[in-house]
Amino acid sequence: MKSRKKILFIVNPVSGLGKKNVFPALINKHFDTAQFETELAFTQYRNHGAEISKNAANQFDAIVAVGGDGSVNEIGGALVGTNTSLGIVPAGSGNGLARHLRIPLRHETALKRIAHFDIKKMDTGKVNDSTFLGTCGFGFDAHIAKKFDEFHHRGFSAYGKLVLKEFRTYLPLHFKIHFSALEISGYFLMCGVANSRQFGNGFVISPKSATDDGTMELVMLEKPGIAQFPVILARFFNGTIDRSKKFSFRPFREQLTITVDSPVPIPFHLDGEPSLGGPIFVVTLSPDSLNVL
Average predicted confidence (pLDDT) for the chain? 92
SS3 letters for 60-75? Answer: CCEEEEEECHHHHHHH
Predicted confidence (pLDDT) per residue in 139-183, tens digit:
999 999 898 877 766 667 777 788 888 899 999 999 999 998 889
What pTM, to 2 d.p., does this model score? 0.92
Predicted confidence (pLDDT) per residue in 225-278, tens digit:
999 999 999 999 999 999 999 999 999 999 999 999 999 999 999 999 999 998
Structure confidence at residue 1 as a pLDDT band (50, 70, 90): very low
- Could you give phi then psi for residue 230, rounded to 5 degrees? -60, -35
Exposed/middle/buried for residue 58 (C-beta within 10 Å: 0-12, 13-18, 19+): exposed
Domain boundaries, the chain: 5-118, 130-288
The rounded percent of the chain whose pLDDT value lies above 90 is 81
- Could you give phi then psi for residue 206, rounded to 5 degrees? -145, 85
| CB distance 134 to 264 below 8 Å | no
Closest to 115 (Cα-Cα) out of 239, 238, 9: 9
DSSP codes, 139-168: SHHHHHHHHHHH-S--SHHHHHHHHHHHHT
Domain 5-118: which CATH number of 3.40.50.10330, 3.40.50.300, 3.30.70.2740, 3.40.50.1100: 3.40.50.10330
Rg over CA atoms, the chain: 19
CATH of domain 130-288: 2.60.200.40
